[in-house]
Each structure stands twice: as C-alpha cells, then as structure tokens.
Chain A
Amino acid sequence: MADNGDDESQYRIKGGDYVVLKRGEIFKAVQIQPKKKVIFEKQWFFLDNAVGHLYSTTFEIGSGGVLQLRKLRDAESSTDAKEAGTDNRNIVDDGKSQKLTRDDIEMLKEQGLKGQEIIQQLIDNSSTFRDKTGFSQDKYIKKKKKKYENTVTILKPSCRILAMMYQGREPGKIRHLRYDTLAQMLTLANIHAGSKVLVFDTCAGLVLGAVMERMGGYGSVIQMYPRGEPVRAGVESFGFPAHFRDTLHGFPICHVNALLAGTLDTTAKDPSAGRAFFFLNKSLRNRVKVLTSCFFFQAQEKKVKQEEKRKKLAAAAALLEGRNADGLVIASQYQPCPVLMGLLKFLSPSRPFVVYSQHKEPLIECYTKLKEHGGTVGVRLTDTWLRHYQVGFKL
C-alpha cells in the first residue's frame, strides 16, 4: 500500500490535501486550496506557500497573510539557564512591572517584529521576570505566546488530532464524545483491517472516520444512516487516500426492515422514457426541440444518478444480507435502544458491539433490554475519566 511506503511524498503537503492547523492547543481542519483565504485564531492567511513542505512544519504568518518558514533560531532557544528566583514572597502585583505600554507593543508589531521577538522585549522590560521561579517564567512565556505568537503548524490529520479538535471546537457536533471515550470504543469493538463493520454515526462522521482509519482501507464499513443523505463531512477531514472510499458503503435504516424480511427490491427497473410531450404549432417547434432535448439530457442525468444510487444500495444490501458483520458501533443522539436492537441482527455470533451515548440513562435502557432479550454476554456500562498531570522538571 502506498500508505506505508517509505517515499517522502506521503510526508509532503500537497495542494488539495486535508490538513489540520495548530497553534498551542488550538486546532482547525481545513483543505489546502489555491489562493483561498483561511481564518485561524483571528488571523487571515493563505496556505499556498505550505505546498511542497513537509508535514509538521511550523510557519510564520507574514504580512499579507503569506506563510514563511520559521527559522530554527526563533524556536524555543531562550530556555538556557535563565536567572530565576525561588518564590514570590517579594513580588508585588501592582500592575506596574511591565514597562512597555500598549502603544509601544503596537509599534513593535508595526515594525514587523516576530512573535518571539515581541515576547523577548516583554521579558526584557519586565521588572519582576527574573525574580519569578522557573515554573512561573515558563507560565508567563506560555501566556505571552498564546497572545503574540504568529505561527501556525500544519499537521497531517489523524484520529487523535481530529478528535481533540472537535472536542475543543465543536463538541455539540460530535454529541460531546470525548477523545478518551472514542479511544475505548475503537478498541472494545475490535476494529481492525479486513473486517466488516457497521457504523451508526451522527457525530459529524468523526466516529466513521476513526473506524476507517483503523481499518486502513481493508475490509468494509457500512454506514447506516437515519434519513436523507449520510453525513460524511468528518470523514473528509481525515484525508484518506482515494481507494478508501471503495470500502465505504451507506444504507438508509428506513430499508432495514424490508431487507430483513427479504422484501427489499434493489434490482434495476425498466428505463422510463422522459415525459416531455409538447404539442405545438410549427412556429415554435424548433425552440421546443431545444427545450425537450435539454429536458431529455437532464432526465438522463437524473436516471444515471438514480442508477448509481440503486447500485450502491444493492451493494450495501448484499453486504448486510448475510447478517455476518464483525462489529457494530453506535454513536448518535437517537434513542440508542431501538437502534441497537435493530442493528444487532446484522452481527455474526461472537462479535463485539459498542454503543456510545452522551447520557447514561438511555444506556441503562439498552442494558436492560439486552438482558431481557438474551443472546449477549459480557455486557458492561462504563465511562472513562481522563486527567492531565502537570509534571515539573528542571532541564
């Protein structure tokens, strides 16, 4: 698979790539399009200059929104044995320790000083900086960086990065699914290459994309969707290679009962002629010819689309019919119990399934129903709790 070849190309940013912009703990998923203005952390810029560089490169946002490579010297080099104090007993917070005024800082910005340089100026003009402890100095620098740094790092998307991004930016869109919970779901459902997995995801497609990443383009994923069209925006952000799309199928749940009963008809129907009958006198006949031929082409296009749709539905139905799926993952705002009971029928014996809900009570209902219904073992209702630790060390 080209995916794990050692050639550099997979590590280089290309036009059209889906990437993730990062500054500190803030992420944003965008697509690289020529001359397209991108907004990130209150700044406008163009991504054109990133093309050709390696992923994880950090750029400076120059004037005019043009990206420039950040020189290594600008990077964290000011951490050499700084003079520091031992505690804050003598530091008085009177708001007067910074000698630079707002106007001074604006002037520095206008002079074109880079973020790191502005921060150095702030440090040099702070009467209390060298009295702070090492930890306090780091905290100060981190805070200033957040405010003045002008850089952006371009990352290759991954489940980890996208899950953290969605959690930070738009948790509502992913039904408040935390990334530690998503990690548990993927492992507990034994998602792996070569299996056949059913996914019912109304979390903007993040869960679907995560499943696809863990399948690596092998096997098949069938997205069961509630109505309309399947939502796949989240999947796009992963930037999967084109062939991954061949493994992704969709099946609307409104046809599930028919499929299970064996009454779902996915065979091709007789092509019906475009219905455009115009009876007109001679003078208008030519114009009518043009109109009907346009109408005819539109009808053709519609038929081709319908035929494609029918073929896709038939392919998905064929995969489901055998009722031999290897895994089932449910993550949505729909009442989980009926979704689960409806889709469990497609699972082979001795295969895992995972249901996520933002709330515990709907899962209590699932648990109870599963116990009543029988036919499942090892059912557990759990949640995880993740905490960050601040680890201090002297370098």
Chain B
Amino acid sequence: MSFVEYSDFIQDGDVAIVYLGHESMMPVKVQKGAQTQTRYGVLRHSTDLIGRRYGSKVTCSKGGWVHVLHPTPELWTVTLPHRTQILYTTDIATITMMLELKPGSVVCESGTGSGSLSHAILRTIAPTGHLHTVEFHQQRAEKVAEEFKEHRVDHLVTVRNQDVCKDGFGVTGVADAVFLDIPSPWEAVRHAKAAMKKHGGRVCSFSPCIEQVQRTCEALADQGFEEISTIEVLLRVHDVRTISLPVPDFGSDPSAQTEPDAAEKTAPASAPIQDTVAMKATVPPREIPGHTGYLTFATKPRTS
C-alpha cells in the first residue's frame, strides 16, 4: 500500500480506510496484534485485516460488518485528523487540472496544514515529480512529515518548517507550479515567482475573503504574472430517492366509458385504480453549498 500506488492485500504497517456506512469512514493504522473499536464491534488487525484483500467485507466481534478500502487521497481528505481547516476534493480537483499537474511536475505549496491537498498533489506528480511544502507551525510540520512517511510517499516530498512570506520555499527556479493557502498570499507572490522555473509555470492562491483576493491579484499583476483569473467551484450533491406523487382525481370521465373494457365495469366506482405514482428522482440539497474560498490562477511567463 502507498498513497501513490495500489496494492491488493492488506499488510502490517498499511494505512487502511474502514468504511462503516454512508458518509461514515475512518482511517486505521494496521498493526500486528492491535485492535480497533468500531460501532459494529472490535476489529482484530492480525486476524481480520492482515492478509485480507482490500475491498473485503470484514465481520467485527459484535457480528456487524465493515468494508476495508485501499487508501486514496480522496478517502484521506474525508477521514484525516484535522489540525487546520482543509481543502476538499472539489477544490483540489480544480486546482490539480488548472495548475496542469502531472507525473514529473515539481510543485511548491504553502501552508501544508493538515496535508489534504499535499496527498493529492503527491499522487498526481508521482513517480518522478517532487513537492516542496512549507508549514510555519512546528508541530504541524512534524505531524505531516510523519504521515508522509507512514503513507510511503516521503521520497516525493520535502517539508520545511519556515515562514514562506519571509524565507520563501527553500528552492529557486525549479517549480512548474506554486500553490498558496495562507492568510497573506500577496506577501508570498515574489517568492512564488522566484521558486518557479525560468520557463514559466502556473500559480494558484486560495483565499476565503475577496479582499485577500484583490490584494493577491494586484501583487500578481505587479510581479508580471499573466492570465490572472479568479473562480469559485461549488459541488452539488443530488440525493436519489424514490418519490411517490399523488395522482389528482378529476372525477369519472363520461367520454372514457365508451371503451368496452371489462375491467372498468368491475372496478368499484368509489375508489380510483391508482392514487399515487412512484418514480426515481433527485432531491435538491437542502442548503446552498457553503463557500470554501476563491481560487485565483495565473501564469508566470518565460523570464529569459
């Protein structure tokens, strides 16, 4: 198992995702002799997990069962322990494509936070790319570095505990893409420019407030970035349900009785044949999806 390569069987040391039910999952560090408590009972790692195929249905001590899934960055995003507010898959997917990330890309990111986006970047740039990620909080930097190791992706990433606005990313002229998710991204724009390859590249800044976006756009334009564009992406989830719609009764239709239909005659005149009709439909979400942040993209032109 690794977050950048699939494997088929659960092994000691893996991080697996236990799927308990709709919208209910948890990550598990697989360890010989260890146990994990779930609402369906206890999972004994040595007997229930190690050696089993990913995707298996596993019965727990109380008799209930769960599914054990191979980790992916998407599953990690919804199960990881939050140390900060994180980016969710909808924004992550947009960022990945708009920054043109692919195997071999070199990316600079700050702040690392809880590592949600970091894992997605690593998955996309493997096996030949590299992620330089900067986090100014010491414990968070250490925690995320630990996770990269457990997830077997540490060879693809360098974590630096410093302030990107003051000290930059720790590298210059190597990045194809830079991502900023910090309170004052306009202060890091010149460092982003320095970190990028002279051939040019893409930059993205994520900010919840439009005032931050405004200052960042100004800084980007000032530093010579082009194609500056700010967007927002929202996800709507459609709930598929069987709905039951009552059918109106317009009274018995005299013109319809010219049909020599035996069934009509035998049906009791008082009760209608069908008073509801069932069909599959989607129910719109009850709330408008919440705002996460604005994504500002720009292109650094070639600097010879």
Instruction: Give chain A's interface residues, CB within 8 Å of chain B.
Output: 1, 3-4, 11, 54, 56, 158-160, 163, 179-180, 182-184, 186-188, 190, 192-195, 213-218, 324, 326, 348-352, 360, 364-365, 367-368, 377-378, 380-389, 391-395
Q: Which residues of A contact B299 (CB under 8 A)?
A: 56
In the complex, 18 of the A-B residue pairs with CB atoms within 8 angstroms, ordered by the A residue number, are A4-B128, A4-B129, A56-B299, A179-B97, A183-B98, A186-B93, A190-B123, A193-B4, A194-B127, A349-B56, A352-B72, A382-B236, A385-B234, A387-B231, A387-B232, A389-B230, A395-B221, A395-B222
Contact A388 B230 (CB under 8 A): yes
Q: What 5 pairs across the A-B complex have the smallest Cβ distances?
A: A349-B55, A216-B103, A350-B55, A4-B104, A187-B93
A364 touches which of B98, B106, B280 (Cβ 8 Å) = B280
Contact B102 A213 (CB under 8 A): yes
Q: Find the B residue at minimum CB distance from A349.
A: B55
Which B39-56 residues sit within 8 Å CB-CB of chain A? 53-56
Q: Find the A residue at minimum CB distance from B105.
A: A4
The answer to whether B126 has its CB under 8 Å from any CB of chain A is yes
Contact B126 A192 (CB under 8 A): yes
A385 touches which of B68, B70, B236 (Cβ 8 Å) = B236
Contact A391 B213 (CB under 8 A): yes
Contact B94 A180 (CB under 8 A): yes
Q: Which residues of B contact A192 (CB under 8 A)?
A: 4, 103, 123-124, 126
Q: Which residues of B contact A349 (CB under 8 A)?
A: 53-56
Cβ of A349 to closest chain B Cβ, rounded Å: 3
Cβ of A328 to closest chain B Cβ, rounded Å: 14
Contact A187 B74 (CB under 8 A): yes
The answer to whether B244 has its CB under 8 Å from any CB of chain A is no
Q: Which residues of A contact B102 (CB under 8 A)?
A: 213-214, 216
Q: Which residues of A contact B240 (CB under 8 A)?
A: 364, 367-368, 381
Complex Cα distance A216/B128, Å? 10
Q: Find the B residue at minimum CB distance from A326.
A: B6
Contact A56 B6 (CB under 8 A): no
Contact A187 B282 (CB under 8 A): no
Cβ of A381 to closest chain B Cβ, rounded Å: 4
Q: Which residues of B contact A378 (CB under 8 A)?
A: 19
Cβ of B297 to closest chain A Cβ, rounded Å: 9
Contact B232 A188 (CB under 8 A): no
Q: Are A183 and B89 also in contact (CB < 8 A) when A349-B54, A388-B230 are?
A: no
Contact B229 A160 (CB under 8 A): no
Complex Cα distance A391/B211, Å? 10
Complex Cα distance A391/B222, Å? 15
Q: Which residues of B contact A326 (CB under 8 A)?
A: 6
Contact B237 A380 (CB under 8 A): yes
Q: Find the A residue at minimum CB distance from B239.
A: A381
Q: What is the size, in residues, of chain B's interface with A at 8 Å between Cβ atoms?
A: 67
A388 touches which of B6, B229, B281 (Cβ 8 Å) = B229
Cβ of B145 to closest chain A Cβ, rounded Å: 22
Contact A1 B238 (CB under 8 A): no
A382 touches which of B67, B96, B127, B238 (Cβ 8 Å) = B238
Contact A360 B213 (CB under 8 A): no
Complex Cα distance A192/B6, Å? 10
A186 touches which of B97, B218, B236, B238 (Cβ 8 Å) = B97
Q: Mark B205-237, 1 if CB is under 8 A from A, else 0.
A: 000001001110110011000001111111111
Q: Which residues of A contact B296 (CB under 8 A)?
A: 391
Complex Cα distance A376/B240, Å? 16
Contact B236 A364 (CB under 8 A): no
Residue with the highest number of chain B CB atoms closer than 10 Å, among A184, A186, A195, A395: A184
Q: Which residues of A contact B94 (CB under 8 A)?
A: 180, 183-184, 386
Which B68-102 residues sit within 8 Å CB-CB of chain A? 68-70, 72-74, 89-90, 92-94, 96-98, 100, 102
The answer to whether B8 has its CB under 8 Å from any CB of chain A is yes
Q: Which residues of B contact A213 (CB under 8 A)?
A: 102
The answer to whether B136 has its CB under 8 Å from any CB of chain A is no
Q: Find the B residue at minimum CB distance from A181.
A: B93
Q: Which residues of A contact B234 (CB under 8 A)?
A: 384-386
Q: Mark B239-278, 1 if CB is under 8 A from A, else 0.
A: 0100000000000000000000000000000000000000
The answer to whether B166 has its CB under 8 Å from any CB of chain A is no
Complex Cα distance A326/B55, Å? 12
Q: Find the B residue at minimum CB distance from A352.
A: B72
Cβ of A113 to closest chain B Cβ, rounded Å: 24
The answer to whether B301 has its CB under 8 Å from any CB of chain A is yes
